[in-house]
Amino acid sequence: MIRSYIILLLITCFTVSCSKKEENNTKLSITQYQKDSLSFDLPVGWKVKQDYTNKTGRYLELDKYSDYKVKSTLAIGILHDNVISDSVIASQIRQLQFYYQKVNFKLLEQNKKIQLGKYPAIMTSYEADDTKNKVYGKICVIQNNNKTISVQIVDSETKEGLSEYNTIFNTFTIR
């Protein structure tokens, strides 16, 4: 009886120890980016490529690396004014249609209401295929504190899921 209890206690301690170690590893894999009144968490593999400010707002470009290649890009534009979400999306679609004019470009969904992290947003998704490289993209617009946040996601692997982007936008803070 005592031997069984000791074995059960050892198994319980080992399980708790492993789960705490896994939790600590998850926390270590996320880094916080903080600069000029903006902060957010970056999941493992993500790096800030650009971050600059001009008269109209701020622009950030983040890349996700896997096997030493860029697998996803996240572009964030923060405008100092409220701009109508539909016009921001329409403008970006026109730019994309021009950029992808020599490949198969198609809209998959238009102006769908979603939740991007802790923010309600409007999203349009697209696909571009030049027969050797296919990319999936999403254009999202968030209205927050008299600012318009334009988000463009370009992913070379999948058109599904926003979990990593939600990790970023759950902690996205502008002061």
Q: List the chain domain ranges.
A: 30-174
For the cut 70, the answer to whether the pLDDT of residue 156 exceeds it is yes
CA separation, residue 35 to residues 21, 31, 32, 175 (Å): 30, 13, 10, 11
pLDDT bucket at 21, cuts 50 / 70 / 90: very low
- What average pLDDT does range 45-61 have in this prediction? 94
- As a whole number, mean pLDDT of residues 38-43 equals 93
Q: Could you tell me which CATH number the domain at 30-174 has?
A: 3.40.1000.10
Report the predicted TM-score, pTM, of the whole model to 2 decimal places: 0.79
Which of 71 and 6 is assigned the larger pLDDT? 71
Average pLDDT, the chain: 82
Mean pLDDT of 10-33: 52
**The pLDDT value given to residue 8:** 40
**Closest by CA position to 164, among listed 67, 29, 39, 35:** 29
CB atoms within 10 A of CB 168: 22
3-state DSSP: the chain helix, strand, coil percent, rounded to 5?
A: 30, 50, 20
Render pLDDT for 142-153 as a digit per residue (tens, 0 to 9). Answer: 999 889 999 999
Q: What is the pLDDT of residues 109-147, one digit of tens each?
A: 999 999 999 999 999 999 998 767 788 999 999 999 889
Label residue 29 by pLDDT band (50, 70, 90): confident
Q: In whole angstroms, what is the distance from residue 57 CA to residue 52 CA?
A: 9
